Amino acid sequence: MAQHNAFYAQSGGVTAVINATACGVIEACRQAPDQIGKVYAGHNGIIGALTEDLIDVNQESDEAIAALRYTPGGAFGSCRYKLKDIETHRTQYERLIEVFKAHDIRYFFYNGGGDSADTCLKVSQLSEKMGYPLTAIHVPKTVDNDLPVTDNSPGFGSVAKYIATSTREASLDIASMCATSTKVFVLEVMGRHAGWIAAAGGLAGEAEGEPPHMIVFPEVAFDRKKAMARVDESVKRYGYCVIVVSEGARYEDGTFLADAGNTDAFGHRQLGGVAPTLAGMIKQDLGYKYHWAVADYLQRSARHLASKTDVEQAYAVGREAVALALAGKNSMMPAIRRISESPYQWDIIATPLAEVANREKFMPPSFITEDGFGITADCRQYLLPLIQGEDFPPFENGLPKVARLSLTLAERKLPDFTL
Amino acid sequence: MAQHNAFYAQSGGVTAVINATACGVIEACRQAPDQIGKVYAGHNGIIGALTEDLIDVNQESDEAIAALRYTPGGAFGSCRYKLKDIETHRTQYERLIEVFKAHDIRYFFYNGGGDSADTCLKVSQLSEKMGYPLTAIHVPKTVDNDLPVTDNSPGFGSVAKYIATSTREASLDIASMCATSTKVFVLEVMGRHAGWIAAAGGLAGEAEGEPPHMIVFPEVAFDRKKAMARVDESVKRYGYCVIVVSEGARYEDGTFLADAGNTDAFGHRQLGGVAPTLAGMIKQDLGYKYHWAVADYLQRSARHLASKTDVEQAYAVGREAVALALAGKNSMMPAIRRISESPYQWDIIATPLAEVANREKFMPPSFITEDGFGITADCRQYLLPLIQGEDFPPFENGLPKVARLSLTLAERKLPDFTL
């Protein structure tokens, strides 16, 4: 087989383990020198391919690449940028082909969530629709866990572990304070459309009555009266109430509890502040003293508390993506399959990208308790394997070490291109 | 020496390591059976002493007590309750003596911050002013690090490590997103009067230009124009701006930013929280897309990321408190003394409580850079030893294990008492 170059890029919101996937991709490429020459990384995702901002990954030492395994964030820069259709925006695809040709790129690895899968799907049509021989593989990543087909998404397990741990720790705090001070604690977590992360908060408690006492899912229409009754009951019974609320919590009519009016580049509304909104309601309706926290980026960058299972899966999908590419499987995504529940066993299967792109996986109704405020035993059984094991990063001088890359750009061979 | 009983209680806001101090106190008491019989813990601090809600700590196994070392929150319940003066509120003190007599309590250990030191000081006057032979020791604790005399306060080092780590991790996240999305990240941290915790965020960066790019201290009057210029400069130079802001950030006239009644870019009234307030200003004045997080209880309960130095010091002050009591040193506090900087060495010295109570230790001006937005090399040198070392708790089923105490109340011997 002839040797060609590979392109890897990160897309969408980054995670604590997306760089572990990068590590898997790059290490697997380095181990296939007969087929893969250089690896280029897109500076800021697909944009780097369009503007020919290609990071020459060959300049990075094996040690630096290995350090990606424990470095959060997106080391090569991510982007929120969705390619339009080939039919209507042919120029962009022609440019991609120009850049790929100029750098002899025949393998394309795109590491992202649902929106990015759509971009990767479009790029994977280059060979069929425009005659350029490219093998495009989508590598799954999203803290939201809303990608279909795959049993879970790399990135989610670590956020789940962080939120479950933080909920347990903060619950011990408020439990000690509630006699004379704070009665209600509200933790806002990510998950715009699907309540997977909020559900993970439910793992904090194990026995009946243990916090959290209420989870507010985006999947369940918010009913203020019912919610306040639940909070009041919890304070009266346990002395305090711990709430985990999804940023995507919404009313029956679809209005978000915290609608800030911003939209991001994908046209999604930027949310923020459901915790203070809910806390304000509680103060108003029940008069209880409250505290609230918004974990925001902390939750998805908390590599210091990553799930070992998650790190292993993130790394494995990266390696498997390269295996699929080398086998010529265009337009595919390596998906995680749960083989057995106890002991938890998983493997990776190849899934056609067309089955993945632009579809969201919501929490099944059987995962939410009948009252709408908790997780069921089925949900717990699904979630628990994903947070198993610790994979602490090395610490230096009291702080987690992170990869230091040189991020050298490859020499440009083409004229400038305006997005 | 005759054998008498001891009373231990937790007061004020709890920390990730206050239970490590409890562990130190209780283990030291158990190792002095000739002098100390039972240990009682106040259920919810000093209130437990007043209402005769005494937890019989002898019912707890050695294993359960050892597990306190890695359990956040206040295992026996804390309180926000300050005793009034003996002269004007004699009834409360007579009640304390009644309870102490009924349970043969002659040793009093009060584990708290500045306000609690005041309560402990008053209790320590029982022997002199009311003739009851009690030895009262204050055991230092506060995430705010604002206790005087002691070089640092147990509880602070772990929050500092958590905030420095979280700032570093979240900075990597936003650095990957800033090309096409979020440009500014604001992390709100605790510290209503003193900027110690905010300063710890400064440890995240090591080289010039590394985030955080701006720290907002309560000690430096907030100047919106100057702050916005700094944010803008940072975004233009580095592509993004990471801000650590203290909840106590305030204007020249003393008004807290969070209390200023600001509205966001869309005219919505902010619901409290200095992070969203500051983020709103940035949107309004500069138009940058932002994310914000409020760590709240998460920061002070994050035992999973505790500083080993902090855990050791928290445990040591607990043990030393017992040693002081057994030596008859009434009205004292064990304080941490920094013996040498490099290598960092510390010991514990006895400090008269009168020198501690009702005094706050602010950041020295030499710890804040001239522009008011960063920490100096002196500050870094002071802070770094406090976050050294990791002391991960044991994990079980993916989550940190915590102590499970029976919290059996001792039989009451007295009539009810109304606070």
Query: Are A95 and A223 contained in the same domain?
Result: no
B143 is in an annotated binding site: yes
Query: Are A211 and A102 contained in the same domain?
Result: no
Interface check B164 vs A, CB under 8 A: yes
Please indicate, yes or no, if residue B263 is contained in any of the structural domains. Answer: yes
The 10 Å Cβ neighbour count of residue B406 is 11
Mean pLDDT of A63-88: 95
**ipTM of model:** 0.96
Interface check A265 vs B, CB under 8 A: yes
Query: Are B78 and B176 contained in the same domain?
Result: no
Write the residue in A80, A173, A180 that is nearest to B73 by C-beta. A173
State yes or no: pLDDT of B267 exceeds 60: no
Query: Are B249 and B331 contained in the same domain?
Result: no
Structure tokens given for B42: 């106040």
Query: Are A103 and A206 contained in the same domain?
Result: no
Query: Are A270 and A315 contained in the same domain?
Result: no
State yes or no: pLDDT of A232 exceeds 60: yes
Task: Please state, for a pLDDT cut of 70, what percent of chain A lies above it.
Answer: 97
Please indicate, yes or no, if residue A10 is contained in any of the structural domains. Answer: yes
Please indicate, yes or no, if residue B168 is contained in any of the structural domains. Answer: yes
Residue A180 to residue B79, Cβ atoms within 8 A: yes
Compute, in degrees rounded to 10, the torsion defined by CA atoms B110, B113, B114, B119. Answer: -20
Q: B247: part of which helix (H) or strand (E)? A: none
Q: How far are the Cα atoms of A158, A172, A362, B397 from residue A348, in angstroms, in the given order? A: 19, 38, 21, 24
Nearest to B112 by CA among B308, B280, B314: B314
Query: Are A316 and A290 contained in the same domain?
Result: no
Query: Are A8 and A134 contained in the same domain?
Result: yes
Query: Are B311 and B286 contained in the same domain?
Result: no
User: How many domains is chain B partitioned into structurally?
Assistant: 2
Chain A residue numbers touching B212 (CB-CB < 8 A):
none
Cα–Cα distance for residue pair A399/B378, rounded to 1 Å: 19
Q: Model pTM? A: 0.96
pLDDT score for B268: 44
Structure tokens given for B292: 């914000």
The 10 Å Cβ neighbour count of residue B306 is 29
Lowest average pLDDT, out of A135-139, B208-212, B214-218, B265-269, goes to B265-269
State yes or no: pLDDT of B348 exceeds 70: yes
pLDDT score for B264: 43
pLDDT score for B1: 63
Structure tokens given for B293: 């997080």
Please indicate, yes or no, if residue A21 is contained in any of the structural domains. Answer: yes
CATH number of the domain where residue B27 is located: 3.40.50.450
Q: Using one digit for the tens of pLDDT, what is the confidence trace for A354-393?
A: 999 888 898 999 999 999 999 999 999 999 999 999 999 9
pLDDT score for B357: 87
pLDDT score for B270: 41
Q: Using one digit for the tens of pLDDT, what is the confidence trace for B8-37?
A: 999 999 999 999 999 999 999 999 999 999
Task: Please state, for a pLDDT cut of 70, what percent of chain B lies above it.
Answer: 97
Q: Which domain holds residue B78?
A: 4-142+304-358+389-400
Cα–Cα distance for residue pair A405/B1, rounded to 1 Å: 65
Which residue, among A173, A203, A263, would best test binding to B if mutated, counting the most B CBs under 10 Å from its CB?
A173
Q: Supply the mean pLDDT for chain A.
A: 95
Confidence grade of residue A82 (pLDDT, cut at 50, 70, 90): confident
Q: Using one digit for the tens of pLDDT, what is the confidence trace for B302-319?
A: 999 999 999 999 999 999
Query: Are B63 and B186 contained in the same domain?
Result: no
Boundary-marking domain end, from B253, B272, B299:
B299
Boundary-marking domain end, from B299, B333, B368:
B299
Structure tokens given for A53: 């901002």
B327 to chain A nearest CA, in Å? 31
Q: Using one digit for the tens of pLDDT, what is the confidence trace for B36-67?
A: 999 999 999 999 999 999 999 999 999 999 99
pLDDT score for A359: 87
Q: Using one digit for the tens of pLDDT, what is the confidence trace for B169-193?
A: 999 999 999 999 999 999 999 998 8
pLDDT score for B272: 61
pLDDT score for B265: 43
Confidence grade of residue A305 (pLDDT, cut at 50, 70, 90): very high
pLDDT score for B193: 87
State yes or no: pLDDT of A39 exceeds 90: yes
Give the CA radius of gyration of chain B.
23
State yes or no: pLDDT of B262 exceeds 60: no
pLDDT score for B263: 47
Query: Are A118 and A224 contained in the same domain?
Result: no
CATH number of the domain where residue B183 is located: 3.40.50.460
Lowest average pLDDT, out of A23-27, A342-346, B81-85, B300-304, goes to B81-85
Chain A residue numbers touching B400 (CB-CB < 8 A):
165, 168-169
Nearest to A83 by CA among A108, A58, A42, A50: A50
Boundary-marking domain end, from A260, A282, A299:
A299
Please indicate, yes or no, if residue A245 is contained in any of the structural domains. Answer: yes
Cα–Cα distance for residue pair A68/A389, rounded to 1 Å: 19
State yes or no: pLDDT of A270 exceeds 70: no
Please indicate, yes or no, if residue A223 is contained in any of the structural domains. Answer: yes
Please indicate, yes or no, if residue B151 is contained in any of the structural domains. Answer: no
Please indicate, yes or no, if residue A352 is contained in any of the structural domains. Answer: yes
Query: Are A295 and A310 contained in the same domain?
Result: no
